[in-house]
Amino acid sequence: MNRFSTLLLALALSTGPAGLALADTPGADWMPAGQVKQKLMAAGYTSITEFEADDGHWEGEGVKNGVKMQFHADPKTGAILSEKPDK
């Protein structure tokens, strides 16, 4: 193994799980995921393909009006905070 490959391997092993992007855990006062998904469907989403707690809110991807969208939803009310087409 050359020196560069050895360095890359050492870096990958040293970062371990810290190098992975992990979702947050929903808070005790958060609206349950199922209820938030129901609100998203009522707001026009026809499918939700990704959904997780992250950075203090619910976020995910789904299809609305035939367009794949990314969204953020309020953790306590399920209201859509932001949405934009997924590129």
**Rounded Cα–Cα distance for residues 50 and 79 (Å):** 17
pTM (2 d.p.): 0.71
Per the domain annotation, does 17 fall within a domain?
A: no
Which of 87, 26, 18 minimizes the C-alpha distance to 52?
Answer: 26
Number of domains in the chain: 1
Two tokens, residue 63? 């299809």
Average pLDDT, integer, range 64-86 = 97
What CATH number corresponds to the domain at position 81? 3.10.450
Domain membership of residue 34 as a residue range:
22-85
Residue 20, pLDDT score? 43
Q: What angle (nearest 5°) sits at the alpha carbon of residue 32, between those of residues 27 and 80?
A: 90
Hunting for tokens 């393909």 — which residue is that? 49
The string of pLDDT tens digits covering residues 40-59 is 999 999 999 999 999 999 99
Which of 71, 72, 53 minimizes the C-alpha distance to 62?
Answer: 71
Residue 66, pLDDT score? 96
